[in-house]
């Protein structure tokens, strides 16, 4: 866990991320973050490190109740229910 004094030092420069780019570079992944105010950061990560970041993000999303229920995809009508197709001449 990050010590509170470290968080206090960085809170003034904190910025909302609006773009995340992941690029595979051999056995590693490059993660780039871009903020709404134009700031950014990048890191080279192992697969395990990226997985851990995603797990932590998933946990925070759950705690913040940002998850929305899945919306069922509309189903296509059965063949016998399908309306006749117009003929083209």
| Cα-only R_g, the chain | 22
- 30: tokens are 């490059």
Q: Which helix (H) or strand (E) holds 45?
A: strand 40-45
- Tell whether pTM > 0.75: no
Q: Tell the residue number behind the tokens 């609006």, with chain if given.
A: 18
The closest of 40, 5, 44 to 25, measured between CA atoms, is 44
For residues 35 and 16, the answer to whether their CB atoms sit within 8 Å is yes
* Longest CA span, the chain: 76
4-45 confidence digits (pLDDT tens): 888 788 777 788 889 999 999 999 999 999 998 888 999 999
């Amino acid at each position: 866990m990050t010590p509170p004094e470290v968080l206090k030092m960085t809170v003034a420069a904190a910025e909302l991320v609006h773009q995340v780019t992941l690029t595979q570079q051999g056995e590693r992944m490059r993660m780039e973050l871009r903020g709404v105010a134009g700031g950014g950061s990048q890191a080279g990560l192992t697969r395990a490190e990226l997985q851990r970041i995603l797990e932590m993000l998933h946990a925070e999303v759950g705690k913040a109740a940002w998850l929305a229920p899945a919306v069922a995809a509309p189903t296509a009508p059965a063949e016998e229910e399908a309306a006749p197709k117009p003929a083209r001449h």
